[in-house]
């Protein structure tokens, strides 16, 4: 299958921020978006810009199957957005709580990058990017900051925080490793948005959070942005 638009894969795109990001990219007319589930309604977006794809980031066979499908249908990938994530596992023992959160937020991201990197390398797109959706809660410098509304006193969550801190380091290390190949990798924190993930609480609507992800995936100088952290909360670029 040949597409004239830049090809984007978004994990966890069946709801929340992933859903909103897929809508915004597809509606721009510049991107063909591979989404985790076909939940975008026909009147919301041009369906010719969407292809549903099944991918479970906790299952290596599912990831491999998804990469194979993309390879057979398109032969390449231009932009990868690692959006799938979880924040808690209610009622689980502490070891299992950490294990399941890291399985999605850390190991899943690494496995998806590993599986789809050959397709990014096969792309002739001039602005190839990997975008990892992280959180300000993963910034070690912010956890103890007294005037930060989401410091560890207000929001303890050491399991979730540590998973996003690990994701930030994965982003930083990959940015160095992929620099010579001109594949940028960027961490983006969309902020606390009103989604099922946050129990409907947050300062932002999902569409506003998605704009930050879209910006990280499509705007600015990719080479300069690689290895940095993008957010609207005033943290600035860098770590």
pLDDT, tens digit, 9 for 90 and up, residues 85-112: 998 888 999 999 999 999 999 999 999 9
Our answer to whether residue 98 is catalytic in this structure is no
At 233, is the pLDDT very low, low, confident or very high (cuts 50, 70, 90)?
low
Give ∠ CA 236-17-47 in degrees, rounded to 5: 125
The pLDDT of residue 99 is: 97
Radius of gyration, CA atoms only, the chain: 17
pLDDT, tens digit, 9 for 90 and up, residues 41-78: 444 445 678 899 999 999 999 999 999 999 999 999 99
Structure tokens at 82: 């690692």
40: pLDDT strictly greater than 60 = no
10: pLDDT strictly greater than 70 = yes
The pLDDT of residue 236 is: 43
Catalytic residue among 164, 182, 211, 229: 164
Torsion of CA 67, 72, 73, 78, to 10 degrees: 50
CATH fold of 6-231, please?
Rossmann fold (3.40.50)
Structure tokens at 34: 């591979």
Catalytic residue among 148, 160, 204, 229: 160
Our answer to whether residue 164 is catalytic in this structure is yes
Q: Where are the domains of the chain?
A: 6-231
Q: How long is the chain?
A: 239
Query: Could you identify the residue written with the tokens 């050491």?
Result: 158
Average pLDDT (14-27) is 92
DSSP notation for the chain: ---SSEEEEETTTTSHHHHHHHHHHHHTTSEEEEESSS-S-TTTS-GGGEEE----TT-HHHHHHHHHHHHHHTS--SEEEE-------TT--HHHHHHHHHIIIIIHHHHHHHHHHHHHHT---TT-EEEEE--GGG-HHHHT-TT-TTSTTT---HHHHHHHHHHHHHHHHHHHHTGGGT-EEEEEE--SBSSTTTTT-SSB-HHHHHHHHHHHHHSS-HHHHTT-EEESSS--S--
Q: What pTM was computed for the model? A: 0.90
Buried b (16+ CB within 10 A) or exposed e, 193-228: bbbebeeeebebebebbbbbbbbbbbeeebeebbbb
Torsion of CA 217, 223, 228, 231, to 10 degrees: -40
Mean pLDDT for all residues in the chain: 88
Are 178 and 116 in contact by the 8 Å Cβ rule? The answer is: no
């Amino acid at each position: 299958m040949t597409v004239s638009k830049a090809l984007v894969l978004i994990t966890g795109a069946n709801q929340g921020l992933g859903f909103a990001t897929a809508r915004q990219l597809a509606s721009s007319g510049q991107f063909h978006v591979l989404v985790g589930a076909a939940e975008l309604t026909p009147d919301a977006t041009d369906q010719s810009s969407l292809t549903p794809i099944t991918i479970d980031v906790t299952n290596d066979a599912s990831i491999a199957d998804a990469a194979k499908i993309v390879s057979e249908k398109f032969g390449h990938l231009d932009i990868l957005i690692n959006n799938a994530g979880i924040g808690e596992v209610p009622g689980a023992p502490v070891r299992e709580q950490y294990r399941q959160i890291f399985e999605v937020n850390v190991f899943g991201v690494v496995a998806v990058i590993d599986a789809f990197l050959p397709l990014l390398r096969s792309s002739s797109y001039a602005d190839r990017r990997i975008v990892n959706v992280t959180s300000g809660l993963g910034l070690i410098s912010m956890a103890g900051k007294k005037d930060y509304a989401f410091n560890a006193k207000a929001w303890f969550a050491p399991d979730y925080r540590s998973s996003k801190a690990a994701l930030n380091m994965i982003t930083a290390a990959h940015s160095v490793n992929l620099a010579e190949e001109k594949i940028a990798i960027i961490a983006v924190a969309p902020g606390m948005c009103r989604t099922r993930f946050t129990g409907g609480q947050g300062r932002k609507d999902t569409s506003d959070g998605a704009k930050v992800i879209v910006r990280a995936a499509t705007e600015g100088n990719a080479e300069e942005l690689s290895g940095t952290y993008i957010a609207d909360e005033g943290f600035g670029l860098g770590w």
